[in-house]
């Protein structure tokens, strides 16, 4: 048994702001499609306190990461375990100065969101913790598709002739984690104290690139609240989705000259295509909510952590990052593994444990960049080396990153 409380706050900017997610998107946002939020849940069992905050942001960045951690420790003590998760929407304000090429930080927004964080944590502090039951479910979906495609033909692009290489295009044979996980924390009166859910898919396909949008995590959140309460905190946890994006594939009656020259790829969907895809997610969310079952909360809440210098993974790097993994066990049956990276989908196959259900969660804390697998490093491509410059990084990935992964993660399961 454990206690829980939840809270949510709107963090939509009130003045024009730079967005994060695409290289050199220099203009301020031109409109708002949907509000962006912070959603949080506080868990407590005996002396162990857990704070999980999900933000509709690309990344948290080191400044906000340090601010939230410091404030939480002042509020609940030095031993509170803080997990800061980003939805990774590409249509929210930038908050990470270290990744300026992905979006400039608007100086007015950091104080604004810092005040919202303070409000959120103060609301949690004042909210009475209640006993909760845990109800969980999983749903098999087809919302995502692997985006790494090896094109074996030379192509003609704006940059000239491109030799056979890995490019961003639909890959039906590539790894993807399409399992949607749902967790309802319900009080003794059968009311939702908070709802947590997880799936692995890049939120990159909203049709308008210069407007604020929580993308599919926000659309799903609205759907969840229709079946719960308009005030229910909904904590979204992004899965291992570094090489996975929405399954919105343009259907063509035939091969045009352009497609023959350029090769396969993704397109920016129109609103009708995006809305149709969103309806698929909403359907899966409704199924997950309807089929949750009680989970016996045997055992203790427990947190284990491990970290390595980034240079152990990215040779030659002098960037001020560590790569860390943290395991949050909710009793004996359920656990969540958090990693501060854009972890590609293949790593989910390495998570073998004694837990009945293991949620993989990426984009936690101060994210350094992508975590590709051994095969991807051999083949190259954006996730292997193409991202480095835009993330402000230098160096070369080791050829045996799986070995580094084992050093990082396996001790958590001892």
Q: Each residue of 257-316: pLDDT tens digit?
A: 666 677 788 999 999 999 999 999 999 999 999 999 999 877 899 999 999 999 999 999
Judge whether 340 lies within some domain: no
The pLDDT value recorded for residue 252 is 62
27: which residues sit within 8 A by CB, 6+ positions away? 210
Q: Are residues 208 and 154 in the same domain?
A: no
Above 90 in pLDDT, residue 183?
yes
Q: Is the separation of the CB atoms in 180 and 138 below 8 Å?
A: yes
Judge whether 112 lies within some domain: yes
> What average pLDDT does range 190-214 have in this prediction?
96
Above 80 in pLDDT, residue 215?
yes
- Reduced 3-state DSSP string for 186-199: ECCCCCEEEEEEEE
Q: Are residues 68 and 43 in the same domain?
A: yes
Q: Are residues 95 and 123 in the same domain?
A: yes
Above 90 in pLDDT, residue 223?
yes
The single residue listed with the structure tokens 């399992």 is 179
Give 245's DSSP letter: E
Q: Tokens representing 414?
A: 């001892």
Q: Is the separation of the CB atoms in 51 and 42 below 8 Å?
A: yes
Q: Are residues 152 and 232 in the same domain?
A: no
Q: Are residues 163 and 41 in the same domain?
A: no
How far is residue 112 from each of residues 25, 64, 126, measured CA to CA in Å?
A: 22, 11, 21
Above 90 in pLDDT, residue 217?
yes
Judge whether 105 lies within some domain: yes
Question: Could you give the percent of the chain with pLDDT greater than 90?
Answer: 85
Angstrom distance (rounded) from CA 49 to CA 301: 9
Above 80 in pLDDT, residue 352?
no
Q: Is the separation of the CB atoms in 360 and 328 below 8 Å?
A: no
In the predicted model, what is the mean pLDDT of the chain? Answer: 93
The single residue listed with the structure tokens 């109800």 is 135
Q: Are residues 166 and 52 in the same domain?
A: no
Q: Are residues 32 and 151 in the same domain?
A: no
Q: Are residues 269 and 186 in the same domain?
A: yes
Judge whether 375 lies within some domain: no
> What average pLDDT does range 28-39 have in this prediction?
96
Structure confidence at residue 414 as a pLDDT band (50, 70, 90): confident
Q: Is the separation of the CB atoms in 186 and 192 below 8 Å?
A: yes
In the chain, how many domains are there?
A: 2
What pTM does this model have? Answer: 0.96
Above 90 in pLDDT, residue 202?
yes
Q: Are residues 162 and 179 in the same domain?
A: no
Structure confidence at residue 253 as a pLDDT band (50, 70, 90): low
Q: Are residues 15 and 150 in the same domain?
A: no
Judge whether 395 lies within some domain: no
Out of 232, 267, 295, a domain closes at 295
Q: Are residues 65 and 106 in the same domain?
A: yes
Environment class of residue 347 by beta-carbon count within 10 Å: exposed (0-12), middle (13-18) or buried (19+)? buried
Q: Are residues 100 and 249 in the same domain?
A: yes
Out of 274, 295, 316, a domain closes at 295
Give 412's DSSP letter: G
Judge whether 349 lies within some domain: no
Q: Is the separation of the CB atoms in 147 and 168 below 8 Å?
A: yes
> What average pLDDT does range 138-145 have in this prediction?
96
> What average pLDDT does range 376-390 have in this prediction?
95
Domain that includes residue 165, residue range: 146-171
Judge whether 209 lies within some domain: yes
Out of 232, 260, 295, a domain closes at 295
Could you tell me the maximum CA-CA distance found in the chain, to the nearest angstrom? 66
Judge whether 380 lies within some domain: no
E runs forming strands in 200-351: 211-212, 234-238, 244-246, 293-295, 301-309, 314-315, 322-330, 334-339, 342-343
């Amino acid at each position: 048994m454990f206690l829980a409380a939840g809270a949510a706050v709107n963090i939509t900017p009130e003045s024009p702001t730079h967005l994060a997610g695409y290289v050199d998107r220099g203009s301020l946002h031109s409109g708002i499609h949907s509000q962006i939020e912070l959603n949080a849940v506080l868990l407590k069992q005996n002396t162990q306190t857990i704070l999980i905050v999900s933000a509709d942001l690309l990344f948290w960045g080191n400044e906000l990461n340090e601010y939230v951690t410091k404030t939480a420790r002042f509020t609940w003590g030095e031993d509170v375990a803080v997990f800061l998760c980003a939805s990774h929407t590409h249509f929210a304000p930038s908050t990470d100065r270290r990744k300026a090429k992905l979006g400039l930080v608007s100086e007015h927004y950091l104080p604004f969101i810092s005040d919202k964080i303070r409000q959120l944590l103060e609301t949690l502090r004042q909210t009475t913790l209640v006993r909760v039951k845990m109800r969980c479910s999983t749903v098999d979906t087809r919302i995502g598709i692997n985006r790494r495609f090896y094109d074996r033909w030379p192509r003609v692009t704006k940059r000239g002739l491109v030799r056979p290489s890995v490019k961003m295009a639909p890959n039906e044979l590539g790894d993807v984690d399409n399992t949607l996980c749902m967790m309802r924390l319900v009080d003794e009166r059968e009311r939702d104290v908070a709802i947590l859910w997880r799936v692995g898919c890049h939120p990159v396909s909203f049709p308008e690139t210069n407007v604020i949008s929580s993308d599919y995590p926000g659309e799903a959140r609205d759907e969840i609240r229709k079946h719960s309460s308009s005030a229910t905190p909904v904590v979204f946890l992004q899965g291992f989705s570094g090489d996975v994006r929405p399954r919105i594939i343009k259907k063509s009656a035939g091969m045009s000259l352009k497609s023959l020259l350029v090769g396969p790829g993704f397109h920016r969907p129109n609103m009708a295509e995006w809305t149709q895809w969103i309806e698929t997610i909403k359907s899966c969310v409704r199924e997950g909510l309807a089929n949750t079952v009680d989970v016996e909360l045997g055992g203790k809440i427990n947190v284990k952590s491990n970290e390595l210098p980034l240079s152990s993974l990215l040779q030659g790097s002098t960037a001020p990052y560590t790569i860390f993994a943290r395991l949050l066990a909710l009793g004996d049956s359920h656990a969540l593994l958090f990693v501060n990276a854009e972890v590609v989908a293949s790593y989910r196959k390495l998570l073998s444990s004694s837990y009945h259900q293991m949620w993989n969660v990426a984009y936690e804390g101060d994210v350094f960049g992508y975590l590709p697998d051994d095969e991807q490093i051999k083949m190259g491509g954006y996730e292997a080396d193409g991202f480095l410059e835009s993330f402000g990084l230098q160096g070369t990935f080791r050829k045996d990153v799986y070995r580094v992964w084992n050093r990082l993660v396996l001790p958590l399961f001892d």
